[in-house]
Amino acid sequence: MIRKGLKVKILCGKDKNKEGEVIEIDRKNYRAKVKGINIVKKHMKTTKEKKGGIISKENFVNISNLKLFEENKKKEAKK
């Protein structure tokens, strides 16, 4: 089961074979945000509190495109 904070590997898409940590999960829509994966550019308007411009941020990925990444098994296989 994929949870917040776990390390996952991307199975398909533009970021295939990349690894990252789960930041946020949307169980209702079956999606998850992964750190450094599926980066999109968003145009933000300037407000009193925030400076505007083009901001890069992570977007959601379908959970079916994620696989748990376990470092322990990988290390044991190399021995």
Q: Are 47 and 40 in contact (CB under 8 A)?
A: no
What residue ranges do the domains of the chain occupy? 7-78
pTM score: 0.76
Rounded Cα distance between 11 and 17, Å, is 6
- DSSP state at residue 73: H
Q: Which residue has the tokens 């949307």?
A: 26
Tell me: the pLDDT tens digits for 27-52? 999 999 999 999 999 999 999 998 88
Q: Kindly tell me the sign of the dihedral angle through the C-alpha atoms of 44, 50, 56, 58.
A: negative
As assigned by CATH, the class of the 7-78 domain is mainly beta
For 50-62, what is the mean pLDDT? 93
